[in-house]
Chains A and B, each alone.
Chain A
């Protein structure tokens, strides 16, 4: 271990915030992808102002800096694949401000997303982005990965709520990207550049987030169909009808069986696929939308159509949906979760393509996801410890990407490129697309110290 590096870090950080104990290194080397790489040192600052100094020390030692939030990511974004300093934000967890007039929340990067939800709601406000891991994941990671969630269709994703970011740059500079006002056209839209940059450009020290008034109420429906394809066609009908659900989720039979086995609600799964649809807004609006939705759903010829009668029942439906990934994980030793996304009118075609790929490679794929915004999560359940499985999985994943791109979609809707998808970047962006990104990277981080080995880097 580099004693000089530790000493230099110790000179700028308080005691107890630096560690190179092997046990700590083991714990800070992976995320929810389970890919592991050992960092050289882990720091857990308690003061965001010390991070630019960490950047200076890192530059002096030529050490990579890998930002890490709660480590709940699904693309290996915080895995220190080239070693270096993992800078964990978990102790930077202060909500600095909830402004009820500007409708802004100012937060440190380590604030848990749910805490932002609760702080906003206490003031009658609403922070919509809700990645499935919202109880554990933190806002710095949400911004860096441009996290989505269940409410994307109506409310958009993290990007749509970032007003400004305070960022520590490689080498120790600090910049503020964007501003506190809704309107702001001074120069390039730098805040958007940092959103989804996966920690490859700078370290987010603080974010100002847009809040909106909290919807008064909501109504939820559950409809069942015989096949996933039938359900995906219903999605198109709903969107075409003019109703904009706040969430529109799909789950196939494989997922439903897994969820039922996990949650044990006693509801036997009888159908091939399920849609969960929710509308929100004012009382009047919800009543009108719910009636319209009821009619549309009726016309999609569902095998079953049910309206959740109370909030507790609605919450139970969403809890079931949120547990989909983990429930699938119980079924077999390995899960490979993809999030290829297509324009929503292509959802039926994408569903067919996934089913074809599952058959072609003889793999079990559970498909669930945010059907309303075209973001599906085909999840391969297998055992990667068997070499032959690994080969078939790799081929299937490549085919899934090709299918999504052929339908005008993207490699990743919300999880990020990270480690697993980097070799596919050029397929979507083309050579010049990647070249421009590389030029941006070189301009901001010429020595390539920020989160190396991720995306196209």
Chain B
């Protein structure tokens, strides 16, 4: 039995086993097994705490096989913070069993500082270019992670990340205020065009925008692998880096970053005034634009119709559903809701790298629903979802373009 797990007893005991999570859990929806739904995962953690179960391989798999979408937490009548339990259980597994040592090592090393991040993402770009062709050959089985599976379409990584594309300060005349745009790793290194768009749109809304030239990762990949010490250290650095006193708001186009900065930092850094101040200022860009600006008055709807996928951390994590839809209704030829818009796309960050086959099946269902709408564009508000939806749609034979809500606003801005 694990002493470390014991501190989760009260959290876990709150689960009344009602099974409500069965109707929303994406991994259960695919596997139809009680071990891969929140209720089962809680029962397993409880069994380990009670000394009825050892932390064996199957336990490890089910704990690391959660997409951390938070649908269970959002729908749990008993209020069990499932993602928190999973994260802590991963930390215990990492510490006591050395679980996922390679992934943790890579994450720790790559996210340590700016230089390491630049290097790691350059390596990933190289890796993609180099390994992808190999994945079609019998050598594939020696490749790590997703490269084993040729099917996955990973984005081609750009040569210049966001800080090399936009200035640190992008100002406008008679600014209504000042915001910091926290890009996050996926926007910074994979889809910098979303960052450029964010700056452009926020300028158009009348705000001065600052980006952080040597911005660090929010640390979510570390916490979801159970690397809590490294995560905390990184969080402290991010808080220090994002000096927010001058800014009206810190905006993100990545809901996972927003959720981490806003909800998680104050919990893991309870004594940090900076973390509390940052938390107060962090806001999702969709909410900020619809609540605080008149941007939607200055647009002319594009002709294309659109369907929308709710990013889990935006919807389940922060309850933001209406704002992106308000944007899409104003900026396009019509919003056609897909069936199960709120269902996870299967990305889940490291989840999709550690469990690509399952994550791909979830994406395939999601893509089917998106295609069935007949809409011209699939919109979402998370760069991670975009990556996964583009892969899923391509595999499902969908022709739709996948765009961030910000990119749709930009298309609709009056010239």
* Binary contact track A105-147/B, C-beta < 8 Å → 1, others 0: 0000000101000000000000000000101110000000000
* Binary contact track B18-50/A, C-beta < 8 Å → 1, others 0: 111111000000001111000110011001000
Q: Are A32 and B19 in contact (CB under 8 A)?
A: yes
Distance between A38 CB and nearest chain B CB, rounded to angstroms: 8
Q: Are B19 and A137 in contact (CB under 8 A)?
A: yes
A255 interfacial by beta-carbon distance below 8 Å: no
* Binary contact track B29-73/A, C-beta < 8 Å → 1, others 0: 000111100011001100100001110101100100000000000
Q: Are B47 and A72 in contact (CB under 8 A)?
A: no
Contact-residue size bin, chain B (C-beta under 8 Å from the other chain): 20 to 34
Q: Are B23 and A136 in contact (CB under 8 A)?
A: yes
B79's contact among A22, A28, A136, A262, by CB below 8 Å, is which? A262
Contacts of B56 in A (CB 8 A): 22-23
Q: Tell me which residues from 1 to 43 in chain A have a Cβ below 8 Å from any Cβ of chain B.
A: 21-24, 26-28, 30-34
Distance between B56 CB and nearest chain A CB, rounded to angstroms: 7
Q: Tell me which residues from 299 to 349 in chain A have a Cβ below 8 Å from any Cβ of chain B.
A: 323, 325-327, 329-330, 333, 335
Assembly CA distance A28 to B34 (angstroms): 7
Assembly CA distance A137 to B22 (angstroms): 9
Assembly CA distance A258 to B59 (angstroms): 34
How many pairs of residues, A versus B, come closer than 8 Å at their CB atoms?
94
A166 interfacial by beta-carbon distance below 8 Å: no
Contacts of A135 in B (CB 8 A): 20, 23
Assembly CA distance A21 to B35 (angstroms): 11
Q: Determine which residue in B14, B18, B23, B56 has the highest number of CB atoms from chain A within 10 A of its CB, and name it.
A: B18
Q: Are A26 and B43 in contact (CB under 8 A)?
A: yes
Q: Are B58 and A329 in contact (CB under 8 A)?
A: no
Contacts of B40 in A (CB 8 A): 27
Q: Are A333 and B20 in contact (CB under 8 A)?
A: no
Q: Are A26 and B18 in contact (CB under 8 A)?
A: no
A71's contact among B19, B52, B79, by CB below 8 Å, is which? B19
Q: Are B17 and A71 in contact (CB under 8 A)?
A: yes
B13 interfacial by beta-carbon distance below 8 Å: yes
Contacts of B77 in A (CB 8 A): 262, 323, 325-327, 329-330
Contacts of A24 in B (CB 8 A): 33-35, 58
Q: Which residue of A lies closest to B59 (CB)?
A: A23
Q: Are B19 and A133 in contact (CB under 8 A)?
A: yes
B52's contact among A26, A325, A335, by CB below 8 Å, is which? A26
Q: Given A22-B53, A26-B44, A44 and B58 touching (CB < 8 A)?
A: no
Assembly CA distance A22 to B16 (angstroms): 21
B78 interfacial by beta-carbon distance below 8 Å: yes
Distance between A304 CB and nearest chain B CB, rounded to angstroms: 26
Contacts of B21 in A (CB 8 A): 136
Contacts of A23 in B (CB 8 A): 35, 44, 53, 56, 58-59, 62
Distance between A40 CB and nearest chain B CB, rounded to angstroms: 16
Q: Are B20 and A31 in contact (CB under 8 A)?
A: no
Distance between A35 CB and nearest chain B CB, rounded to angstroms: 10
A365 interfacial by beta-carbon distance below 8 Å: no
Q: Tell me which residues from 394 to 430 in chain A have a Cβ below 8 Å from any Cβ of chain B.
A: none
Q: Are B43 and A326 in contact (CB under 8 A)?
A: no
Q: Are A112 and B23 in contact (CB under 8 A)?
A: yes
B13's contact among A26, A27, A31, A333, by CB below 8 Å, is which? A333
Contacts of A329 in B (CB 8 A): 14, 16, 18, 77-78
The 7 residue pairs across chains A and B that have the minimum distance between CB atoms: A326-B77, A23-B58, A27-B34, A135-B23, A27-B40, A72-B19, A136-B22
Query: Can you list 19 contacts pairing A with B, beta carbon distance less than 8 Å?
Result: A23-B56, A23-B58, A23-B62, A24-B35, A24-B58, A27-B33, A32-B16, A34-B17, A71-B19, A72-B22, A88-B34, A90-B32, A112-B23, A136-B23, A325-B16, A326-B20, A326-B78, A329-B18, A330-B79
Contacts A26-B47, A71-B39, A133-B18 supplied; 6 other A-B pairs, CB < 8 Å: A27-B43, A72-B22, A90-B34, A262-B77, A326-B78, A329-B14
